[in-house]
Amino acid sequence: MLLQEKLINVIKEKCENDPRISACMMYGSFTKGEGDQYSDVEFYIFLKNTEIGQFESSDWIRDIAPYGLLFYNEFGSEVVVFSNLIRGEFHFQAESEIEVIKTFKDTGVFPDTESMFIYDITGKLKPCLDYLNGKGPERMTNDNVNFAFNNLVNAWLMGINVLKRGEIARSLECLTYVQKYVLQLIRIREKNVERWLNATKNLEFDLSEKAYGEYASITSKLDKEELYRAYSNTLDVVEGLVLVLADYYRFDINLIFLKKLHSYLTNRS
């Protein structure tokens, strides 16, 4: 049994034996059949409304297993790094907020909502999880394609401008946004959009060899000439995407505009 699975079992038992807990659900890799020794454990834990004010999450988490670090990340999630270096993510919310679960439907596909169920005394958790069943949001749309192309150009132009200014590190940061939108468009072309919001996840297995090579061509280390090559290769990849996707989608960008970007790139003055 993986250490993560042992932690999951401990958390389930704690919920069952804690009268302050109304419901608990798990999300992430272990609910999608993808959990391994490198995966996080991630939970929403709903407390009785009368308990939320005095509940000490740090004490509750400490009883799961020893940890070396506990903090709130920039998204408001409570993150714990256990002593064995397994990462956990916890959201403690009032029972009255349990229907927040339904908002997850817009984030992706949930192939096995039964595995997300940990504990419930309210009778409300299963209906919320059942709501997540079925197909995820439609990603292969005109709006999504146009959004990805337009934001790609925005990030590309900013990256080139700061590169020409001599801000190499900032240009490398901009390139990560360029890569994100290129990957979303590649996933649409390859009809592999389940990981739309986290486009690099499982990339080595999701994409064709050609597509993976395209992605590799738009990566760079912190080097001015490598960055220029990556930005130049991006335009070549985007041109190919425009030619393919134009048969199926409507979007603003066209080859004439891409030619202007090529000219702007080659003019380093």
Return the pLDDT at 135. Answer: 87
Give the CATH number of domain 3-131; options: 3.40.50.720, 3.10.450.50, 3.30.460.10, 3.65.10.10.
3.30.460.10
Q: What is the pLDDT of residue 182?
A: 98
In sign, the C-alpha dihedral spanning 65, 115, 79, 52 is negative
The tens-digit pLDDT sequence of the chain (269 residues) is 999 999 999 999 999 999 999 999 999 999 998 999 999 999 999 999 999 989 999 999 999 999 999 999 999 999 999 999 999 999 999 999 999 999 999 998 899 999 999 999 999 999 999 999 988 899 999 999 999 999 999 999 999 999 999 999 999 999 999 999 999 999 999 999 989 999 999 999 999 999 999 999 999 999 999 999 999 999 999 999 999 999 999 999 999 999 999 999 998 76
- How far, in Å, CA of 1 to CA of 98, rounded? 31
Name the amino acid, one letter, at 40: D
pLDDT of residue 120: 98
Domain boundaries in the chain? 3-131, 142-266
CATH homologous superfamily for the domain 142-266: Nucleotidyltransferases  domain 2 (1.20.120.330)
CA-based nearest residue to 163, from 265, 49, 45: 265
How far apart CA 15 and CA 21 sit, in angstroms, is: 6
| Confidence at residue 206, expressed as pLDDT on a 0 to 100 scale | 93
Asked if the domains at 3-131 and 142-266 fall in one CATH topology, the answer is no
Q: Which residue type is seen at 15?
A: C
CA distance 196 to 209: 19
Q: What is the pLDDT of residue 133?
A: 92
